[in-house]
Amino acid sequence: MLSEERNRIMTQVGPGTPMGDYLRRYWMPIAGAAEFEEFDVKAVRLMGENLTLYKDKSGTFGLVDRHCPHRRADLSYGFVEEKGIRCNYHGWLMDENGKCIEQPYEDTANPKNPLRDKCKITAYPVKELSGLLWAYMGPLPAPELPVYEAFTWKNGFCEVVTSDIPCNWLQCQENSIDPVHFEWMHDNWSIRQKGQEKYAPKHLKVAFDEFEEGFVYKRVREGQPEDSAMWTVGRVFLWPLGFYLGEHFEWRIPVDDENTLSITWFYCRVPSERDGYVQERIPHWHSPITGPDGRWITTHVINQDIVAWVGQGRIGDRTKELLGASDKGIAMIRNRFFEEMEAVKAGKDPKGIIRDPEKAKLVKLPIAERKPFLDGKPMREYLTHPYYSKRMKDFPWNAGQPERVRKEFCEAMGIDRDGNFLALKEMASAK
Ligand code: FES
Ligand SMILES: [Fe+2]
């Protein structure tokens, strides 16, 4: 339980709020780079700020104020030039540093134009890494953008998926330190949705540890030995806005106090017969969260999570909750957020910030099963593998994977539309 005041401090993200100032110290993924194959300017709202994200003709990304510094027209309706974005109203041109580099009529009427040098708009650094666009909205100098180990893996098919979630970021992110919900929300609820009556193995114990990049949660379930990686390694609450599960990351990026961008990155290892596969570009797609009946979609893992998050209300009322033994991790991260907000106020760098460029080049996170990602497995093992056998048939995480992405995935894995390995099929028919 939190007091009303502490709940407000935890959930407000606008400029000048303690949590807003705190979260601005980190690079955040804000879009898929492949989105910019379809358009070159996009209106975005992040941390309560209305902004314009663009890619100019030279390939540079910019994240600037939504409003033009002249008479406040909407820059997301502007157009890009070789360098920068031009307002469609009177043609003022802004670069990725927020500098106004042209004011066509003013430059003509007064070649010395003193107005141009005075003109500057909000602009935040943007970087592209592993199919994601990352923004840094805090005070300069910006820390290093961490290159997580999974981003360096070869022989895989990656994809970036986004969804718009109508609730506060914190209830989404508290889900990253909540092991027991797997048993109920993903296992037992899915079993019921299939019309079956049985129950999945129970959680017998859970544990939580802190490390440099975040927290891990560990679990033992019925029938699971204690030397299982789910107890010896666990899963990662990636500080402050991420969740890492080995083959995928999930981030919950605050749009404002009542909305969150869910942005996820997935890697799927090709079977070892397909080694040498190189993915030319990482596709992006947007996943819906409601069905034709207007109800939340409940069929896919992350959609199920979303039902829990939005069900807690636009901003979860933590004055009314009742925490138990399964929520120890929730209490730990809340306490840590408060300590961290204080540390930033005192002028310290917060948890997980990397300033050493060498260190940022490869950031290894705890991972329950690293070897298969590096070495691969043959097609025959995929057929009976509890995860890969399903993964070849369908994308289990978010609803609505478009056919174009499924096609690219099938080509990478060497499977047909139904998930059958083509090489194995040919071998079988040749017998
Ligand atoms: S309002 Fe943008 S150039 Fe005039
Ligand atoms: Fe979940």
194 HSE (CA, 13 A, CB side): 10
Strands 156-165, 284-286: parallel, antiparallel or unpaired by DSSP? parallel
Q: Which atom of ligand 1 is nearest to the CA of 87?
A: 2
Residue 274 lies in a domain: yes
d(CA 106, CA 95): 18
| Same domain, residue pair 113 and 204 | no
* Helix (H/G/I), strand (E/B), else coil: 203: strand
d(CA 261, CA 135): 13
Residue 311 lies in a domain: yes
| Same domain, residue pair 390 and 348 | yes
| Same domain, residue pair 343 and 226 | yes
Measured by CA distance, the residue closest to atom 3 of ligand 1 is 90
d(CA 131, CA 127): 10
| Structure letter (DSSP) for residue 142 | P
Cβ 67 under 6 angstroms from ligand 1: no
Number of folded domains that form the chain: 2
| Same domain, residue pair 111 and 238 | no
- Is residue 179 within 8 A of residue 172, CB to CB? The reply is no
| Same domain, residue pair 164 and 111 | no
- Is residue 210 within 8 A of residue 335, CB to CB? The reply is no
Question: In CATH, what number is assigned to the domain containing residue 84?
Answer: 2.102.10.10
| Same domain, residue pair 383 and 340 | yes
Strands 242-244, 79-80: parallel, antiparallel or unpaired by DSSP? unpaired
Q: How many C-beta atoms lie closer than 10 Å to residue 205's C-beta?
A: 12
Question: In CATH, what number is assigned to the domain containing residue 291?
Answer: 3.90.380
What is the model's pLDDT at position 181? 98
What is the model's pLDDT at position 428? 78
Residue 230 lies in a domain: yes
H/E segment holding residue 382: helix 379-384
Q: Does this model's pTM top 0.85?
A: yes
Residue 62 lies in a domain: yes
Residue 67 lies in a domain: yes
What's the Cα-to-Cα distance from 278 to each of 153, 188, 372, 405, rounded to whole Å? 11, 38, 18, 16
| Same domain, residue pair 413 and 359 | yes
| Same domain, residue pair 345 and 228 | yes
What is the model's pLDDT at position 369? 85
| Same domain, residue pair 105 and 173 | no
What is the model's pLDDT at position 111? 84
First-residue to last-residue Cα distance in the chain: 65
What is the model's pLDDT at position 136? 98
* Helix (H/G/I), strand (E/B), else coil: 276: coil
**Residue 244 alpha carbon to ligand 2 centre in Å:** 12
| Same domain, residue pair 196 and 336 | yes
What is the model's pLDDT at position 431? 67
Residue 224 lies in a domain: yes
Measured by CA distance, the residue closest to atom 1 of ligand 1 is 71
CB neighbour list of residue 376: distance below 8 Å, 6 or more residues apart: 155, 269, 270, 271, 272, 275
What is the model's pLDDT at position 341? 97
What are the φ/ψ torsions at residue 112 (nearest 5 degrees)?
Answer: -80, -15
Cβ 74 under 6 angstroms from ligand 1: no
d(CA 103, CA 68): 12
| Same domain, residue pair 126 and 154 | no
Residue 43 lies in a domain: yes
Domain that holds residue 112: 31-136
| Same domain, residue pair 36 and 63 | yes
Cβ 169 under 6 angstroms from ligand 1: no
Residue 19 lies in a domain: no
What is the model's pLDDT at position 331? 97
Cβ 244 under 6 angstroms from ligand 1: no
pLDDT by 10-residue block (mean), the chain, 431 residues: 96 98 98 97 98 98 98 98 98 97 93 86 98 98 98 97 98 98 97 96 98 97 96 97 97 98 98 96 98 97 98 98 97 98 94 97 95 93 94 97 98 95 81 67
